[in-house]
Structure 1
Amino acid sequence: MMDNLRAASNHVVLKIILGLIILSFVLTGVGGYLTGGSGDYAAKVNGQEISRAQLERAFSNERARQQQMLGEQFSALAGNEGYMQQMRQQALSQLTDEILLDQYAKNIGLAISDDQIKQAIFTQPAFQTDGKFDNAKYLGLIGNMGFTADQYAEALRKQLTTQQLIKSVTGTDFVLGSESDALAALISQQRLVREVTINVGELAAKQTVTPDEINNYYQQNKNSFMSPEQFRVSYIKLDAASMQEPVSESEIQGWYDEHQQDYTQPQRNRYSIIQTKTEAEAQSVLDALKNGGDFATLAKEKSADPISARQGGDMGWLEPDTTPDELKNSGLKDKGQLSGIIKSSVGFIIARLDDIQPQQIKALADVRDDIAAKVKQEKAVDAYYKLQQKVSDAASNDTESLAGAEEAAGVKAVETGWFSHDNLPAELNFKPVQEAIFNGGLAGDNGAPGRNSDIITVDGDRAFVLRISEHKPEAVKPLPEVTAQITDTLKQQKAQAAAKSQADKLLADLKAGKGDEALKAAGLSFGQTQTLTRTGQDPLTQSAFALPLPAAGKASYGVGEDMQGNVVLLSLDKVQTGEMPAAQKTALVQGVTQNNAQIAFEALMTNLRKEAKIKYGAAAQAQ
């Protein structure tokens, strides 16, 4: 059944449903409801078994999710045995946590009513047509996923119960008014600060650096002066999209005749049903119908299926693929025909065939443009693969150049400029091409040209054949090439040290009450007062809010750096309370509450895991 679910998940609408319920019943104990147990289990959680099949499905789903999210990167990860085993353990942990939550919900008496389940189904957009619940769509979609209505309702009940539990835990935290006021006051606090900037750039211009200092720095930091491996590449690109040609009317007609089933809507039937739990109830309903009873009225009054009952028994239009076997085998052929009592997996059914829509075939004129595009694409792809083989043979026969491949392709090869691993040209920015260039197999010896590549195919019916024209291995840049860079670095370091030393001396004088004289002697002075808030992200703001509160009538001093790397003396003269808008304060409280709620939920899960009796079976480590 879960294989059906995975197959059905390729349908766009079904993905919407799966997105809502997959965490709750594909990765949880509902798997045990859908499949039989096995002696070879993955784990037992307080006696409740997680079967090998459940773990394999959870692992498969997580693998598919990561593959979709990571794309081509997943291929490399999938080859790492440790990574795959870690993913398997994560899937088992998720299954375990879901069972613990389900068990805890039952222990504290959380329950979901039938009315809540009905409402959840009726309001699910995936089951609606034009904003109204569509019973036929509902039955068809859950049927394609391998569920009966009862099984789907049970899965949904587990999901809603878990949601109710999470809400009950995370929705109870609160912040006292006094606490929120104090927090808002702390965050909105303002600091009045004056600054003295010691310009490091001006000091750097006055520094001198000796050749020995430059050489020593170079020898100690050679890894900082590496020239990356570089390449120049010649390549030929083949693209099916550029090979499209006009198509004839006979080709269009031929495609239409050969693929007519693609443009055919099969016969559709519209049924109404009344479902009962016992055969005696079904016989009573059938007798009432034969005596002139109204089908819709009886369905609303008697049917045990709340979904179809709400619609007077109407199931909407059903195609062969979405028609339950019970209805297919009911023998109903004519409009208005009433069935006998039909035994089904959910009880007993009385059915009526309300209407029939015959099979319909779209006219060629209505689909001509679509077919023309498909034929054009198909012809282009055929020509592309033939040319690809021709170019591949030519490149293999003459490995010393692309001349033969150029002649076969009918185009000249393109040659790139120099590039490294970090700046692959955009026209070659495909993972298979990247791997072919950088894996070392095509590069020649000592920078010489290499051999031709095989045909490299990429997405979109495109392919490349290429060769490395020139290659430079990674190497340390020579000293003359980096001397200017090292000189600037050493001057900056010396200037930074000098500025910090000067700032430390001035700071000591300021704290000793000799600041005015010291600043005047250094040709420096404090600037105008600035009002800083905690929202500032620059280094000076962070330094200012790290200073201790000033004593009454005095300043608090410190040293920091600005965004340009200059050393700055700070004078914190005053701290005052700012104002926080009501909306911002509300958002702050909500953020704190949510954070506390998350902590509470994690504490609950930690406690459930600690108290649980979990026994792991052989399937937990199976590959």
Structure 2
Amino acid sequence: MMDNLRAASNHVVLKIILGLIILSFVLTGVGNYLIGGNGDYAAKVNGQEISRAQLERAFSNERSRQQEMLGEQFSQLASNPAYLQQIRQQALSQLVDEALLDQYAKDLQLAVSDDQIKQAIFNQPAFQTNGKFDNARYLAIINQMNLTADQYAQALRKQLTTQQLIAAVTRTDFMLPGETESLAALVSQERLVREATINVAALAAKQNVSDEEVKNYYEQNKNSFMAPEQFRVSYIKLDAASLQKAPSESDIQSWYDSHQQDYTQPQRSRFSVIQTKTEADAQAVLDALKKGGDFAALAKEKSIDPISARKGGDMGWLEPDTTPDELKSANLTQKGQLSGVIKSSVGFIVARLDDVQPQQIKPLAAVHDDIAAKVKHETAVDAYYKLQQKVSDAASNDNESLASAEEAAGVKAVETDWFSHDNPPAELNFRAVEQAIFNGGLLGDNGAPGSNSDIITVDGDRAFVLRIAAHKPEAVKPLAEVSAEIVATLKNQKAQAEAKAQAEKLLADLQAGKGMDAMKAANLSFSEQKTLTRSGQDAITQSAFALAQPTKDKPVYGISEDGQGNVVLLALDQVRSGTLPEAQKKAMVQGITQNNAQIAFEALLSNLRKEGKIKYGAAAQAQ
């Protein structure tokens, strides 16, 4: 029961209700309230029109929300027009509810002050930068929504008014202290019970079942004895890894020679720059440097580029491909050489060449093992694809068996044991392979083995070619095969019936006050007392809490079952109050009050819908 109460406190419907008016909804759909309806409309609510444009935007928002929530599953669902129409109707229903609530709030003369509007805007995280309201960000966002500040404030006022109405309905429910304590006592209640178990398995061993009973059960329950469709498959597996061979030194040298650019670091230059806005500023910097000024100090003081300025103008190592054209054209060749004033796309710069690293080529010895691994892998992959084509041609030219494919592959085909859709062999546990086996394309007439498969590639440079070696369609298992299972089932059914009848008789005797002798005669006795709480979900606990409370010194008896299917006699000796921690008690009260608030809000909406005049237009059904 506590689980149910906790669930109520987090009820998704209640959260949706409260979420209707949060500001984030305004940011995605506020324009809906400001678009007039010309032409056909979606609905009219007490004369207030919901336009096609409003519905289309609400539908788009809901569709986006569903797509984000469902991920890849959404594409499959969205292919069904009925599903999209359902989303559309949900969006329209929400718009109708919002209109009804807005109208009701006006009837109650609920109002929101200008200060409240201003505070709501200031508190909206979307309009904040580093936790503080950012006016430029605010204006940019509402501009993106094609709204003026006044239009946004008007829409926000409507939303906050509706929020005020919802709060008035959902925050008024409460529980009195006496109610809380009574409910807490009920929730935490404990029951002291004793048990006497009638062993069904022992009774089943004594039952007799005739051949006629077995046959009748089989005929009446044939659908329970279906043997699934089964396959035996012959297959050849190709694997690039199995074709790997150690490369020769000449192959390694040849690779190194033809891929030397991969092991070459081009010449690198290191520059420092000072960037200025004007040519005059750049010339002044250059003059200061020529008089012995410190480049790093001048860069930190004069450069308008904050990144390089912090590093004293240093731009780090640059390769030819990453060196700006302005620096290339400066033709700096000596370490410490200064450029003249250079005009650039960002102003003017003065540059200095700090250092040069000549081109460097890694020797073969440094990369020998890496190259050997690459050559080994690529050679195997090349051989794999050539072999794959060879085997594919052989399998398609000789479609009656895998003999030719075996010869081409140089390996014998492997044949599996029988398997079904539910337990394919681990070595064939690839989606593409299983689809080829189970889709029926490899079966001949009347389920006989058919043709060889095409080459089926899977992850990791592996491939299969296969054929169905044998096939068994789904069929009812023969009686002889399931006879023992049926006998066991019938014996258990008879034992269950006998146990229940015995329990009913003993229960009647116990309730009449003469059950102890009957219990002794049946070789049964009650166990020691055990304490059960409402948190238990097993059948015995549920049965114990369904029994009436015992009177003083007189147990109440009942019948239940345990997890093994045995029939259990229960003796309820005592009911007593437990204790509920304050945190759980608080959660219980919150859950109940929120659940009651949800019910009240739904009742309000239901009444508004019932009394309102709602007329749906052509746009409501448009796709």
* TM-score calculated relative to the size of structure 2: 0.63
CA positional deviation for 1:504: 1.1
Q: CA distance change for structure 1 residues 447 and 69 in 2, over 3 Å: closer, same or farther? A: farther
The residue aligned with 2:480 is 480
Deviation digits for residues 290-346 of structure 1 (CA, Å, limit 9, x no counterpart): xxxxxxxxxxxxxxxxxxxxxxxxxxxxxxxxxxxxxxxxxxxxxxxxxxxxxxxxx
Q: CA distance change for structure 1 residues 593 and 232 in 2, over 3 Å: closer, same or farther? A: farther
Alpha-carbon separation, structure 2, partners of 1:38 and 1:416: 69
| Counterpart contact for 1:191–1:532, Cα < 8 Å | yes
The residue aligned with 1:54 is 54
| Counterpart contact for 1:191–1:531, Cα < 8 Å | yes
% same residue:
64
The code of the aligned residue for 1:66 comes to: Q
Which region of structure 1 is more displaced relative to structure 2, 608-617 or 207-216?
207-216
SS at match of 2:549: coil
The code of the aligned residue for 2:98 comes to: E
The 5-angstrom pairing of residues 519-598 of structure 1 reads 519-598=519-598
Which region of structure 1 is more displaced relative to structure 2, 559-568 or 543-552?
543-552
Report the aligned-residue RMSD.
4.8
The 5-angstrom pairing of residues 327-476 of structure 1 reads 358=346, 398=396, 400=399, 420-422=420-422, 440-441=440-441, 443-445=443-445, 446-449=447-450, 452=453, 469=468, 471-476=471-476
The code of the aligned residue for 2:541 comes to: T
| Counterpart contact for 1:110–1:161, Cα < 8 Å | yes
The code of the aligned residue for 2:53 comes to: A
The code of the aligned residue for 1:571 comes to: A
Alpha-carbon separation, structure 2, partners of 1:475 and 1:487: 21
The 5-angstrom pairing of residues 242-253 of structure 1 reads none
The 5-angstrom pairing of residues 130-145 of structure 1 reads 130-144=130-144
* Count of equivalent residues: 473
Alpha-carbon separation, structure 2, partners of 1:464 and 1:146: 57
Q: CA distance change for structure 1 residues 130 and 447 in 2, over 3 Å: closer, same or farther? A: farther
Alpha-carbon separation, structure 2, partners of 1:411 and 1:116: 81
SS at match of 1:195: strand
Deviation digits for residues 92-148 of structure 1 (CA, Å, limit 9, x no counterpart): 112211222222223323334444344444444444444344445444455455555
Which region of structure 1 is more displaced relative to structure 2, 123-132 or 571-580?
123-132
SS at match of 1:525: coil
The 5-angstrom pairing of residues 143-182 of structure 1 reads 143-144=143-144, 146-182=146-182
Alpha-carbon separation, structure 2, partners of 1:159 and 1:359: 50
Which region of structure 1 is more displaced relative to structure 2, 522-531 or 410-419?
410-419
The residue aligned with 2:499 is 499
Q: CA distance change for structure 1 residues 212 and 168 in 2, over 3 Å: closer, same or farther? A: same
Alpha-carbon separation, structure 1, partners of 2:402 and 2:115: 72
| Counterpart contact for 2:40–2:618, Cα < 8 Å | yes
| Counterpart contact for 1:395–1:454, Cα < 8 Å | no
CA positional deviation for 1:412: 12
Higher alpha-carbon Rg? 2
CA positional deviation for 1:476: 1.9
Alpha-carbon separation, structure 2, partners of 1:151 and 1:422: 61
Deviation digits for residues 535-592 of structure 1 (CA, Å, limit 9, x no counterpart): 2211111111111222333221111111221111111222222222222222211111
| Counterpart contact for 1:191–1:544, Cα < 8 Å | yes
The code of the aligned residue for 1:448 comes to: P
SS at match of 1:44: strand
The 5-angstrom pairing of residues 257-296 of structure 1 reads none
Q: CA distance change for structure 1 residues 466 and 199 in 2, over 3 Å: closer, same or farther? A: same
Alpha-carbon separation, structure 2, partners of 1:249 and 1:611: 83
Alpha-carbon separation, structure 1, partners of 2:511 and 2:222: 43
Alpha-carbon separation, structure 1, partners of 2:113 and 2:424: 59
Q: CA distance change for structure 1 residues 123 and 418 in 2, over 3 Å: closer, same or farther? A: farther
Structure 2 gap segments, 5+ residues each: 1-18, 241-254, 265-344, 349-377
| Counterpart contact for 1:42–1:617, Cα < 8 Å | yes
Structure 1 gap segments, 5+ residues each: 1-16, 240-244, 254-356, 361-379
CA positional deviation for 1:527: 1.4
Alpha-carbon separation, structure 2, partners of 1:414 and 1:486: 37
* Structure ranking higher on relative contact order (CA contacts 8 Å, 6+ apart): 2
The 5-angstrom pairing of residues 150-229 of structure 1 reads 150-229=150-229
Alpha-carbon separation, structure 1, partners of 2:533 and 2:473: 51
The code of the aligned residue for 1:57 comes to: R
Q: CA distance change for structure 1 residues 36 and 115 in 2, over 3 Å: closer, same or farther? A: same
CA positional deviation for 1:434: 7.3
The residue aligned with 2:294 is none
The residue aligned with 2:489 is 489
Q: CA distance change for structure 1 residues 412 and 605 in 2, over 3 Å: closer, same or farther? A: farther
| Counterpart contact for 2:394–2:404, Cα < 8 Å | no
| Counterpart contact for 2:214–2:487, Cα < 8 Å | yes
| Counterpart contact for 1:40–1:617, Cα < 8 Å | yes
SS at match of 1:509: helix
The code of the aligned residue for 1:228 comes to: P
Q: CA distance change for structure 1 residues 236 and 121 in 2, over 3 Å: closer, same or farther? A: farther
SS at match of 1:223: helix
Which region of structure 1 is more displaced relative to structure 2, 437-446 or 177-186?
437-446
